[in-house]
Structure 1
Amino acid sequence: MRVFRLDDLEAERARGRGAYLRFLKERNISAGLFALSPGDTDPQTPHAQDEIYQVVSGRARLTVGDETTTVGRGSVVYVPAGVPHRFHDITEELRVLVVFSPPED
């Protein structure tokens, strides 16, 4: 078993000064913490993996393909592999738990 604490992951991500920290990579799955601030541009491009987002904190709009919705703490979103997607109109510091299957490269 491996246990992760969001506060520790956020501190590690911030020290690396990047928007994304991958903290788990196994044979069939990987996970990371993604962070964006109001005014940031989401640099994502479509992924080769299916993806699940769980918004831990913050508020933003998320466009996946042709659909756009508002997400906030507690939102869980499935993004199919190969579909363009991005967070935008971020109004509160956004922290998102990201799960990829199969694992990201």
Structure 2
Amino acid sequence: MTDGGGAEVHDLATLDARQAAEERRYLEFLRVPAMSAGMYALQAGAADPQQPHAEDELYHIVTGRAVLRIGEKDHPVAAGSVCFVPARVPHRFHSITEDLRVLVVFSPSETPEP
């Protein structure tokens, strides 16, 4: 929801419903030049197909439990974890034991795939 002055406020339940209805693993809900944001969802046991990004990335784990490999190091994550991944560093979630809902922020805005 926008306020007419450029500010936006989003509700996680509404984003979850939209993401489920559109059957999307990643749902971008914000894009300005300096950053973009979206919700990323992976089911327990799923494989994470993402590749390194050209932008810095911040993850906030909203729900779920998994391991996030950044480079060669594994980091257990769960609801409340906040993780920074520098641009171009290989990373992916694995060993997902509880469905993940992740708030993702790219800075600057994520470059769309060709």
TM-score (norm 2): 0.90
Q: Identity over aligned residues, as a percent? A: 53
List alignment gaps of at least 5 residues for structure 2: 1-6
Unaligned ranges ≥5, structure 1: none
1:62 corresponds to which residue?
68
Task: Please state whether the residue corresponding to 1:40 is helix, strand or coil.
Answer: coil
**In the TM superposition, what are the counterparts of 1:69-84 in structure 2 within 5 Å?**
69-84=75-90
Q: CA deviation at 1:27?
A: 1.1
- State which structure, 1 or 2, has the greater radius of gyration over its C-alpha atoms: 2
The counterpart of 2:8, out of the listed 2, 8, 27, is 2
Correspondence for 1:29: 35
Specify the code of the residue in structure 1 equivalent to 2:37: A
Instruction: Tell me the CA shift for residue 42 of structure 1.
Output: 0.4
Deviation at 1:66, TM superposition (A): 1.2
Q: Distance in 1 between matches of 2:45 and 2:96?
A: 7
Q: Give every structure 1 segment of 4 or more consecutive aligned residues whose post-TM-superposition deviation is greater than 2 Å.
A: none
Equivalent residue, structure 2, for 1:17: 23
CA RMSD of aligned residues (A): 0.6
Distance 2:110 2:33 in 1: 10
**1:75 partner letter:** S
Alignment counterpart, residue 94 of structure 2, candidates 88, 91, 95: 88
